[in-house]
Structure 1
Amino acid sequence: MKVLGVNGSHRAGKGTAALLGAALEAAAAAGADTELVELSKLDIGFCIGCNRCMAQTSCALTDDMDELYGKMRAADAILLASPDYFGTVSARTKNFMDRTRPFHMVENVLAGKLGGGLATAGLNNCGGEGTLALIDQWLATHEMLAVHARPAGAPLAPGAIATGFAGLDEGGQPVWRSVKGDAIGFAIARQLGADIVALGARLGL
């Protein structure tokens, strides 16, 4: 089983990459072949609205998205991660979503593949949910099967969201940390990676 992780952060190798990496590590531990793609290291132009993809499953533009199209076709599961930018995905992530339009207009090329979303945010209950919701909508648009992880025990969070909020100081002001310090977010990310592979095995992927 092949699991492709796509990081939509503008900062490669930082918190969002670490969260996505935790999911991929769990998937690899469960037997999957995994790969992490950093969108910030790729040259991916904006969709120009030429509508060429209304008649074909390829894009009129030629850039690094070409290789990524191939990786997405070959993957059995795609994990998409983004930091929260004003309550939704980053512009880089949204551009990636826009450029997957050729995989939807003629046919749903990604239909039946597994998928999952991850997000990083500043506050525990402010923004990350919207980011995951848009990723879920993107998965649904492509007719992918979205996996929502939940570790055993009491529900801890609405999804794989790692935040930089560490509590309030004596004056009621936020205390910040690296998102890498969010044990709950990373636990759910690892569960997502494991669950993706478990479901893939049940489906014979």
Structure 2
Amino acid sequence: MEAAKPQLIRETFPVGPLQCNCTIIGDSLSKKAIVIDPGGNPELIMARLEAHGLIVVSIIHTHAHLDHFLASGQMKELTGATLHLHKEDQFLWDSLEMQCRMFGVPYTPVPAPDQWLSDDQALDCGCGVALHTPGHTPGSMSFWFPQDKLLIAGDTLFKRGIGRTDLWGGDYSTIERSIKQRLYCLDEDATVVTGHGADTRLGDEMRDNPFVRA
């Protein structure tokens, strides 16, 4: 008899003062979960994990702008999970206090990342892979779950938009290349979870995105 394939548990909801989309990804069989971009409201994130019966094994980040990891330190303290980031965004991680001051957001210290993410790295939940998609920041990552046709794009790709490139380390030609070469080669039917705002469909962005088309 063929073993049952685990069903992916996915819930996305806005958190924090800048309403970053936080995503919980869980394995329905092992009950292991990853939390992507905990940008605030750790109590809400913990409540949703508990509702799904999930245990966090890692906290991963699409990039290191303040709105995507304001609650990372608190989540690590509450769960013991490891923190993950691409090394090229370390300079942003190290400047969290400055970022918070610039945007008028209360500063909560965050410990150093435990592990560096790399391109094509398998994620701890066993069902996804990390993609290095620089441009919004040098270390921007996207996370691809092929079995479920799900793409977590962070601030790289939005519904009819792309990430801004006028902040620290941003570069338009680089984000354009990342979208065309790393994202637009994925399944057109994939659901794209963006860093802020509504989900979109990858094929729709390939055809209709006014900034970068396939």
Q: TM-score, normalised by structure 1?
A: 0.31
Between 1 and 2, higher relative CO (CA 8 Å, sep ≥ 6) is seen in 1
Q: TM-score, normalised by structure 2?
A: 0.30
